[in-house]
Amino acid sequence: MEHMPQHSVLLSTEEVLSLLEDTERYRIVEADENPLLYAAGHIPGAVQVDWMTNFLDPVVRDLITPSDFAKLCSKLGIAPETTVIFYGDQSNWWACHALWVFCYFGHTRCCIMDGGRAKWLNERKPVSWDVPSYPPTEYPTPAVNTAIRAWRDDVLAHIRQGKKLVDVRSKAEYDGLMTHPADYPTEAAMRAGHIPGAVNIPWSTAVRGDGTFKSPDELAQIYCTDAGLDPNDDVIVYCRIGERSSHTWFVLRFLLGFRNVRNYDGSWTEWGNLVGVPIERAALN
């Protein structure tokens, strides 16, 4: 199969190092699960986004509005023509989530630094404790790209039509043996299991031990040959709150060239708490 060129969306740590001085065209953004990591040392010139305080509406469970996204970009010194380079902890979970949010708001000049924060630090590349400040930009209010996001009604329609769903959580979560990941005991859903028809491909199968993405051929083996997905399929991916599935969305969309893949960011914290929706539990079958 024909793959997307990785260089267009993935930058090595060496490539990012060579771009540190070019703050006119590039903005490096750190996005972590643990927001305290940024203050412990970050890539020189990098700004920080926090998924909860920057991307989520403070009252309604939803993303921020397009006007708030424009204000965020202006504050970070990001213009519509700026190429944004994301990196972070957890093998770039949250970096991929940030990239997905930016793409949802129409900012497609985005890259991921392969290997994330851990690889940069392990290679003893320069770090800074300074918080940079950039001149605010004139960022217009964008239109959203609904083609890359799924809602619960989309998932219900997907089930009825027998289309492809990918659950990227652990096998124990998928099988219904737990209602939450082991490290998140306070974030359980009311019910355990998975969405009917979903195949389980844990997000971590896409990365190597150092957090870098596997080669396109290796990824094609995992998602296409072994799991039976096709780049022409209409695919919805989900996890618990949409962060791990953003990682898989990035793999399918940009590294394998899937044409129609959506991230269901409501994910299991929505589905596992809904009344009356269908659920499968492998452990009870």
Residues recognised as catalytic: 239
- With a CB cutoff of 8 Å and minimum separation 6, the contacts of 255 are 3, 4, 6, 9, 10, 213, 216, 219
Answer whether 25's CB lies under 8 Å from 111's CB: no
Distances (CA, A) of 278 to 17, 32, 183, 200: 48, 33, 26, 17
As beta bridge partners, residue 234 has: 260
- Reading the block at residue 109, the tokens are 């000049």
Provide the pairing of β-strand 110-113 with 83-87.
parallel
Answer whether 248's CB lies under 8 Å from 274's CB: no
